[in-house]
Structure 1
Amino acid sequence: MRSLLVFLLILLATDVAGGDVDVDADALERLVRQDCGSCHGMTLKGGLGPDLRAESVAHYDREGLAFVILNGIPGTPMPPWSPLMTEEEAGWIADYLLEGESE
């Protein structure tokens, strides 16, 4: 819950005048690891929610995955994140998941 509050504060501090939103990659990576990881497993290998590693989400394209992130999946525990993030941020997360970790 604390990480969600930090994320919301970051969003509130983001300059959205003129419609340009800079994506805070570090904050979004933390969001994926902590908030998404609370259901999808801290290593994103699955838990309550399915595996989110690149090989497991490869059947999605960027737009489809961003749509799921923003709108959730009705009838499942996957919530809509659209009240908490922009389309650009959801797109960044989709790219992050599709590309996998660069180690």
Structure 2
Amino acid sequence: MPDKIGGKLFYTDEEAEKLGMVYTAEERARNQAMFDQFDQARAAAGIAPEGTSPGFGGRFSDDLSGTEFEGWTRDPKTGQWLDKDGQPVDEGAAEA
């Protein structure tokens, strides 16, 4: 019987195989080729320019999005947190 953790079902290898949820050799090879291509592109990209914040874009590029801290930024020179209006924030509030 699968375990339900955090709303997700986790099957043992045997359970997954019985349900036909196992990748074929061709699917594994295709997926590995995609991972290899991604790794090569990532390695060729080099180091990001200073002051930029590279990411995957969209919802993955801003950890503060959708929280009470949305729009907050940190001044790279001083390390001071600034609220969405650019006003300095009390350090205790930034850590909360």
- Which of the pair has more CA radius of gyration? 2
So what's the TM-score if we normalise by structure 1? 0.19
Structure having the higher helix fraction is: 1
Bigger strand share: 2
Higher relative contact order (CA closer than 8 Å, sequence separation 6+): 1
